């Protein structure tokens, strides 16, 4: 049995993104996916929205200041 099973949904997302948006960094996609996965059964929609907004703001700030 495999002790480290692959997340097939994440793998599919990364593969599709690679074809559709090759400039989109895989780490950003993984972070977005993790937020969605963490909060998928949470009734409170404010927490994932705040987490997603923070992630987006950090990405924009990194790009604005000459980051990756």
Task: Convert the pLDDT of each residue in 13-41 to its tens digit.
Answer: 999 999 999 998 999 999 999 999 999 99
**With 0-12 CB in 10 A as exposed, 13-18 as middle and 19+ as buried, what is 53?**
exposed
**Domain presence at residue 7:** no
Tell me the torsion sign for CA atoms 14, 20, 26, 31: negative
Identify the band that residue 3 occupies on the pLDDT scale cut at 50, 70 and 90. low
What is the residue range of 66's domain? 24-68
**Domain presence at residue 43:** yes
pLDDT, residue 64, reads 78
**Domain presence at residue 2:** no
**Domain presence at residue 62:** yes
The total domain count for the chain is 1
* 66 has a pLDDT exceeding 90: no
């Amino acid at each position: 049995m495999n002790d480290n099973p692959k997340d097939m949904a994440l793998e599919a997302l990364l593969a599709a993104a690679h074809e559709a948006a090759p400039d989109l960094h895989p780490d950003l996609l993984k972070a977005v996916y993790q937020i969605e996965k963490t909060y998928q059964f949470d009734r409170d929609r404010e927490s994932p929205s705040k987490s997603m907004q923070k992630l987006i703001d950090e990405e924009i700030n990194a790009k604005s200041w000459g980051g990756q």
